Amino acid sequence: MSKKKSLTKCIGILTSGGDCPGLNAAIRSVAKASMNDYGIKVIGILDGFRGLVENRTLLLEDKMVSGILTKGGTILGTSRDKPHKMPMGGKKMDMTTAAVENIKRMQIDCLVCLGGGGTQKNAFHLHKEGGVNVLTLPKTIDNDVGGTDITFGFDTALGIATEAIDRLHTTATSHHRIIVCEIMGHNAGWLTLGAGIAGGADVILIPEIPYDAKIIAEHLMERRRSGKRFSIIAVAEGAVSITEIREKSDQGGKKKKNAHPEQKTEYSENSTPYHLVEEPRASKLARELQKITGIEARVTSLGHVQRGGSPSAADRLLCTRLGTAAADLLARGKYNVMVAMRNGECTAVPLEKVAGKIKLVSENHPWISAARLVGSCLGD
């Protein structure tokens, strides 16, 4: 079969930021459509922007991306390194020039970046500062990338978190306990809110709505008085209490609705960044509620389980649609955009309108209304 005409001859593709289900499905769809339909050369870049700076690549062929649709993770590897703030020899260095030079040397017409909010910003940085043509796809279980209705990885993580809450109902009922389940999502509440509603959580706490522990405790006591001897609390890792916001404000910090202490990062001797381990939000909350109510509480933190495993059917379909739409844009020479899903259609959104934009849950979102109507306490 003859190839369709393409203004793009060669692309580089990388995955950046945290891993999530659907990355391999997206790599597959971009690569297959680009190679087979348009005859575009596809270069895989290993371990995100660090691999680009260090010139670690491989030529992707059809057989290399066959059979990876159902696999979790990413065959290219990933990292959270930024091209302009990259740990090198114990320091953070601007490696933008090195990245741009490698792109030019490989004669890459466009760099395709699969990632979340940070990746969108890093890709835009390469375009703005280095004149590189880029194209991105929105990936994250947090579903917080601006400009798109949904990100790939979210549906799979939502299913995992919902199933976990389903299972917690069994032990909570048996032992008449409060069980606090901590769910990922960074500073956005999409994952916790969705899983909390779908799993029938009695309390749902998200970053966008600061919570009051006393209000939650009263809700739990009222449930007990009405004969309901267990409660499930779904809490986002970025949830914050009203008390914490007040304390931060009193200390001179900037007061904001989703105020959340930044996670500290340090560097090891080999210059690899690692995050300091902090007490989970769920632990602090469970201890506080147990003290107020006198009801036995237990904690479950789902952690990275939510980011692993095979992508759901919905995510596989989403990745395939976004990836093939990306190939069509590449063939037409339409660069510096993010391929978004809006109202059920793939749409090219200028990257300058996406970079740095975070999509949070609004107070009047239908999911919020639905949660309140079925009796879930949102802590306010």
Q: Show me where the domains of the chain are located.
A: 10-152+309-353, 157-307+363-373
- Give the range among 28-42, 238-252, 286-300 with minimum mean pLDDT: 238-252
Q: Do 10-152+309-353 and 157-307+363-373 share a fold?
A: yes
How many Å apart are CA 324 and CA 173, to the nearest integer?
Answer: 47
The position carrying tokens 């890792």 is 237
CA 152 to mean position of chain CA atoms: 9
The more confidently predicted of residues 373 and 273 is 373
Out of 2.30.40.10, 3.30.70.370, 3.40.50.460, 3.60.20.10, the CATH code matching 157-307+363-373 is: 3.40.50.460
Percent of the chain's residues with pLDDT above 70: 92
Closest C-alpha to 99, from 52, 56, 42: 52
Among 142, 202, 315, 328, the one annotated catalytic: 142
Give tens-digit pLDDT for 145-163.
999 999 999 999 999 999 9
Is residue 142 annotated as a catalytic residue, yes or no?
Answer: yes
pLDDT tens per residue, range 107-122: 999 999 999 999 999 9
Please tell me the predicted confidence (pLDDT) of residue 267: 46
d(CA 39, CA 150): 30
What pLDDT band is residue 255 in, cutting at 50, 70 and 90? very low
DSSP assignment of 15-84, as one string? E-SS--TTHHHHHHHHHHIIIIIH--EEEEETTHHHHHHTT-EEE--GGGSTT-TT--S-TT-----BTT
Structure tokens at 75: 């065959």
Is 3.60.150.10 the CATH classification of the domain at 10-152+309-353? no
- Helix 281-293 to helix 213-225 angle (10° resolution) is 60
Q: β-strand 345-350 against 337-342: which pairing, if any?
A: antiparallel
In the DSSP assignment, the letter for residue 139 is: B
* CA–CA gap between residue 112 and residue 320 (Å, rounded): 15
| Distance (Å, whole) CA 140 – CA 4 | 32
Edge-to-edge strands, sheet with 134-138:
57-59, 41-45, 10-15, 110-115, 134-138, 337-342, 345-350
Q: Is residue 295 within 8 Å of residue 279, measured between CB atoms?
A: no
Asked if residue 271 has pLDDT above 90, the reply is: no
CA distance 281 to 372: 23
pLDDT at 369: 96
Cβ distance 8 to 59 under 8 Å?
A: no
Mean pLDDT across the chain, nearest whole number?
91
Of 124, 43, 112, 169, nearest to 324 (Cα)? 112
What confidence tier does 33 reach under pLDDT thresholds 50, 70, 90?
very high
Q: In Å, how far are 75, 203, 372 from 242, measured between CA atoms? A: 43, 16, 19
